[in-house]
Homo-oligomer: A and B are copies of this chain.
Amino acid sequence: MSKRPLILISNDDGVEAQGIQVLTALMQRLGDVIVVAPDGPRSSSSCGITPINTLYVTLLREEEGLKVYHCSGTPTDCVKLALDGLLTRRPDLVVSGINHGDNASCSIHYSGTVGAVLESCMKQIPSIAFSLRTRSQQCDFRPYEEVILSTARFVLEHGLPNDVLLNVNFPEVPVLKGAKICRIGRGMWMKEMMKVGEGAYRLTGYFQNLEPDSADTDYWALDHGFASITPVQLDMTAYSLFDELKSLQNEVLSHSR
């Protein structure tokens, strides 16, 4: 059995996307690689899974240190399938991307790229999502290769705490100004529905940054030429609200008795 690290890769743009091919080539420098990715685009599938339909998986390619599968499901399905059906040993690292489109600010909630690694993070495997702010399907990924490699090496060497993953985003620039540890910026999508017929709509809209001047956010980093590295936790509990909600608890109890 290989002593090299085992690295599982998925994405939400599908197995044919340029971003996952670049990421695969980079990860092959660090370890043995298994790709399990959707058989076509699954953008914005979040942590969605396929509870009813049968999932189909096909081995597309096999060579020394590399296996590539595609799957009929979502990115999260791909990771579940890899961990529970396809892999014979636990991966040392799971990476997702490189997404064509950033997953900063509120986009993290819609992202299938992040959805894939939320799944592996739940399974307590060190996990990283990589995304590039671009509208193009063919990009020059070379400016980001060293950050991708050094982030993956760091995580392979040091691990990550359970229940925390890294979400890494890049601006589309010829040379990065650097990398910043960032929080998730506050923002939302606006004017999202375009009426295209009677009772027919298509998603559109623009992103509004709710804190454009906050230099500690992922969105600011991208706007200013930096890679953003954001530690993301599974626990979404708003602990700060516990005291305030005690009065709700009392109110609920008084009404329900």
Contact = CB atoms under 8 A, between A and B. Distances in A.
Interface stretch (A1-9, A20-28, A41-49): A41-49
A146 interface: yes
Contact of A192 (B84, B236, B251): B84
A136 interface: no
Interface of A: 41, 43-52, 54-58, 74, 76-77, 80-81, 84-85, 106, 108-110, 112, 115, 118, 122-124, 146-147, 149-151, 154, 160-161, 163-164, 176, 178-181, 183-184, 186, 188-189, 191-193, 195-197, 199-203, 205, 227, 229-239, 241-242, 245-249, 251-253, 255-256
Contacts of A180: 249
Nearest to A85: B193
Specify how many copies of this chain sit in the oligomer: 2
Contact of A203 (B49, B118, B186): B49
A162 B246 CA distance: 19
Contacts of A151: 248, 252
Given A184-B237, A195-B85, A236-B236, A48 B51 contact: no
Given A231-B241, A237-B183, A122 B188 contact: yes
